């Protein structure tokens, strides 16, 4: 991880003014507020100026308690870069990224296309399948299809075996997920997931341990030296206090522990890092991502990719990067510099 630890301090830009986008319209609003507060504190520790911009559950953008008015190509609050710390629909799915593109402002993380693809769990898995990336078997189910032909859907799902995990296709933070251990319970789990999303994914149960790997974009000076567009962190292993990695396990103290490095073979660890980078680049991601895996011996399967992972200093992504030589203030600073580089590079093209 020597490339990851390099910061080119002699080329560091001047202090930035960063707008941290917090909250959002989705059911992950509270989680996003927590991530955004940590990002703000990290940016302040790195010496930057922060403007807090909160998106309410009503969708209104507010700064200092007042609704924000914007104009195309007019930037946002005069800041140098925007750091979206948003999770789920209306923030992590390309909608906010599209607005920031329209405003012509630099922003952290994946662009419109990659954000939209990666938040759609079904579309992401179909892309990984087309690229030949090994992953957990799955079935995408639209609400309308289930209403018109439930028996056909249940027959298709039966081919995945048991247990299966039923998830809303466009949510994170393990919201709306059910572990199904009997065929009789599947219809109810589908109905519960449809309450969150019109598209649901049914995933086959996977053996082995859950392993996560962070990916971080490379600055131009690093790309010139090593040629790698991104770097992968040391893999970490999720050790659960309960049966599976649900919302409580993620956000309740003691619900999970993270072992870094993961207790897997050196060969499997190398494969995790290789596949993390491959998934990141195949999806067209930029800036950052956390890629989740199941590892069973030497078998490594991709599960999901998160373009805006949880971002508190105790969240998995930040801990993986810290264990790989990039402390939290340096991480958020680096992401802002990556955003500004991308914005400048795109401005050089006429399109």
What are the catalytic residues?
28, 173, 251, 290, 292, 304, 306, 310
End-to-end CA distance of the chain: 36
What is the SS3 assignment for 95?
A: helix
* Chain position carrying tokens 């403007």: 51
Residue 193 makes CB contacts below 8 A (sequence gap 6+) with 166, 167, 168, 176, 177, 178, 200
Rounded CA separation 264/270 (Å)? 10
Rounded CA separation 70/254 (Å)? 43
Phi, psi of 192 (to 5 degrees): -65, -40
Rounded CA separation 88/45 (Å)? 27
For 227-298, strand residue ranges (E) read 230-232, 236-240, 256-259, 288-296
Rounded CA separation 214/306 (Å)? 10
- CA quadruple 311, 316, 319, 321: dihedral positive or negative? negative
The candidate with the shortest Cα–Cα distance to 183, out of 163, 206, 166, 207, is 163
Q: Within a 13 Å sphere around the CA of 189, how many CA atoms are in the beta-carbon half?
A: 24
The region, left, alpha or beta by phi > 0 then psi within -120 to 50, assigned to residue 270 is alpha
Rounded CA separation 169/246 (Å)? 15
Reported residue count of the chain is 351
């Amino acid at each position: 991880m020597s490339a990851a630890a390099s910061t080119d301090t002699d080329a560091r830009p001047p202090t930035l003014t960063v707008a941290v986008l917090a909250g959002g319209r989705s059911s992950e609003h509270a989680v996003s507020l927590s991530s955004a507060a940590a990002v703000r504190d990290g940016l302040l520790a790195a010496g930057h100026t922060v403007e807090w911009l909160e998106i309410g559950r009503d969708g209104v953008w507010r700064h200092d308690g007042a609704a924000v008015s914007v104009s195309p190509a007019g930037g946002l609050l005069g800041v140098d870069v925007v750091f979206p710390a948003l999770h789920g629909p209306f923030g992590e799915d390309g909608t906010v990224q599209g607005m920031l593109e329209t405003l012509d402002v630099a922003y952290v993380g994946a662009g419109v296309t990659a954000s939209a693809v990666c938040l759609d769990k079904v579309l992401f898995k179909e892309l990984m399948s087309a690229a030949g990336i090994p992953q957990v078997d799955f079935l995408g189910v639209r609400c309308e299809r289930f209403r018109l032909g439930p028996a056909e859907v249940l027959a298709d799902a039966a081919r995945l075996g048991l247990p299966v995990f039923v998830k809303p296709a466009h949510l994170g933070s393990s919201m709306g997920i059910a572990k199904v251990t009997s065929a009789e319970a599947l219809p109810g789990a589908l109905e519960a997931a449809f309450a969150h999303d019109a598209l649901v994914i049914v995933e086959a149960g996977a053996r082995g341990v859950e392993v996560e790997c962070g990916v971080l974009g490379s600055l131009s000076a690093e790309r010139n030296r090593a040629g790698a567009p991104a770097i992968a962190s040391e893999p970490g292993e999720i050790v659960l206090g309960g049966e599976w990695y649900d919302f409580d396990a993620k956000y309740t103290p003691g619900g999970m522990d993270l072992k870094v490095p993961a207790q897997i073979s050196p060969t499997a660890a190398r494969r995790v890092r290789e596949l993390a980078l491959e998934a990141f680049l195949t999806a067209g991601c930029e800036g950052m991502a956390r890629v989740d895996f199941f590892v069973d011996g030497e078998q490594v399967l991709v599960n999901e990719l998160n373009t805006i992972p949880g971002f508190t200093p105790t969240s998995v992504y930040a801990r993986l990067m810290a264990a790989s030589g990039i402390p939290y203030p340096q991480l958020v600073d680096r992401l802002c510099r990556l955003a500004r580089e991308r914005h400048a590079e795109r401005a050089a093209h006429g399109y």
